[in-house]
Chain A
Amino acid sequence: MARDYKILVPALHATAEASINWFQTHWGLKARSEKIEEAIDPDVRLKPTFSVQTQDHHTLCIEVAASVYPNYLDAFVLSCRDRGLPVKLYIAIQKGVYEAEYAQKLKNAKQSGVGVMEVDDASGTVLHNGLSLSLTGVRPIEIRSFPKKYRQSLNDAAHTFRDGNPPKACSMIYDEIEASFRRFAKKASSKSWWPNDASLRVATASWAKLIADVDKHLDRKACGCNALTPAFMARMLGVTPFRNDTGHKPANAKELKKRDQQLRTRFESAVDLFHDFLSATKRLRL
């Protein structure tokens, strides 16, 4: 039976039904948390056509529209972003809708982290996935300020973040930092800037232990890396507890909101840390 829409124009009811049914089938949504044209937060000034709590504690919102990315959605996206709400927004449009600025609007939606799907009576196609809006404000990486060899992996991490997997994106940046730090430690050991008295195996020793030991015994003057101050090393040591923490699943929406806020900060500061480390060790060409 079709849902009762008070606001949505009748011309779009079929699109709404088809898109909701698609998500129910493909995402296994819980029918009891389903809301039609209700506010998701008293302070957010838009009632999406449909909203529901997903299995991973996000609020999935479907906005059924006649155009790919109507202007009024910008305010909704900003509102969710400012409040750190873990909302995934999808715009559902009818298949075959033609509009003059289709490609540009599709691009705008993607840049804002808004998913777009096309539906008809028989099928649904997700053109791109929605990102948790609490994460969409993430600062873009200034890719040109990194050495060329790292740009590809940084781009991948940024895309992974935007495509909706921020734990994985953070993990990718940490991988790069760790790998380059181990390369640094290996070089420092071979050049005797770091004596490695504890006989740590550079490739396999705990990263935290390695940082602590390098920090303690590194001859900074000899290696010409004065910027690797104890404060900087402490900063690097500070990220190691999160190294394997990013994949843990939050138990509820509140935890998810908190986690998303943390992941955004972690991602940005990990990128900064990586940048600063590469700058500090620039002459070693890691």
Chain B
Amino acid sequence: MPTDASKAKLEQIRVDRIDRNPENPRLVFRPTELEDLLESIRVRGVQVPISVFKEGRRYVLIDGERRWKCSLKLNRETVPGLVQPKPDPLENLLLMFNIHSLREQWDLLTIALKLPRVIELLKRKLQKEPTERELSEQTGLNRSMIRRCKLLMEIPQEYKDQILEELKKPKSKQKITEDLFIEMERALKTVERAMPDVIPNKDSVRRVLLKKFEKGVIDSRIHFRNIGKIARAESVGYDRSDAARELQKLFADNSYSIEQAFLNSVGEAYKERDVATRVTTLLNLLEQIDPSELESEVKEKLEQLRNRLSELLSG
């Protein structure tokens, strides 16, 4: 990034001369967190300077909106601030992204909402669509996070609004979360790739799954991963059309859960694959062992294993 932080100057800045940065991706400030910070600043003052750039006679925030708000609230006259050279629009955004990727993380959706603007500005600068790697280098976000953001960018606006509302609550009370949508979107993408005919209308499927989650029919967002496993039925030798039927049943407005669909279809097949994988690993390990060095405890366990295997194979 061209903006050189070493050129920044530390100053005591009048609180009433500071404006928030309209490009700040952070949209959600949780009241209880702000109250805690307020008390800390009241007692100890602002310990970490905010970052700003000068705009005429005023200053625009790059980093430290919560500290600034608390200072305003506490009727403080000044706040310590690093005054940086004025960045261009892309640098302005990237500065904020980089500062936060190294510190307390913003809510993922707020990053996802701002990412298209970063992509647009980067595209103008690079004269091409930025790759995931370039985006990662420029924003300081890791690639997995960028992929997660991209999933969130694609969900309809009504769900984004719903998440934003939920984000205002304390973390412990949030139910309809970004992670829920990320798991759901990943699962639906897998189904679309493997069995496109099962999802004629993605939005109605989303609606049904969300309803089931809210009602507790789906009781964990992790269960969405099993939708992807059902869609990849052929990889474990399960019949594709049977799996598709289970998914269609799951995507209908009823009380059929993901776990039921999983157990009634590919559950056993995945279990068997899991056993096969583990047995292969075990066999590889056993080949490296000298029989004369076997401890009695291990021998006992292996005998238990032999007995169980005999039962299974004779049955």
A residues with a Cβ closer than 8 A to B are 6-7, 9-12, 37, 39, 42, 44-47, 65-67, 70-72, 75
Contacts and interface: CB of A to CB of B under 8 A. Distances in A.
Interface residues of B, number: 18
Contacts of B34: 9
Given A65-B35, A70-B38, A72-B38, A46 B29 contact: no
Interface string B185-200: 0000000000000000
Nearest to B165: A11
A66 B31 contact: yes
Contacts of A66: 30-32, 35
Given A45-B42, A70-B38, A70-B39, A9 B30 contact: yes
Nearest to A70: B35
A71 to B, nearest CB: 5
Given A70-B35, A72-B39, A75-B42, A9 B29 contact: yes
B5 interface: no
Interface in B123-177: 168
A37 B72 contact: yes
A4 to B, nearest CB: 13
A12 B73 CA distance: 15
A98 B106 CA distance: 25
**Chain A interface, >50% SS class:** loop
Given A70-B39, A72-B38, A11 B73 contact: no
A47 B73 contact: yes
Interface of B: 27-32, 34-35, 38-39, 42, 69, 72-76, 168
Contacts, number: 54
Contact of A9 (B31, B42, B74): B31
A45 B75 contact: yes
B75 A11 contact: no
A10 B76 CA distance: 22
Q: Which of A11, A12, A37 has the most CB of B within 10 A?
A: A11
A7 B31 contact: no
B209 to A, nearest CB: 27
Contacts of B73: 7, 37, 46-47
Contacts of B38: 70, 72
Contact of A46 (B28, B69, B74): B74
A67 B33 CA distance: 11
Q: Which of B35, B72, B75 has the most CB of A within 10 A?
A: B75
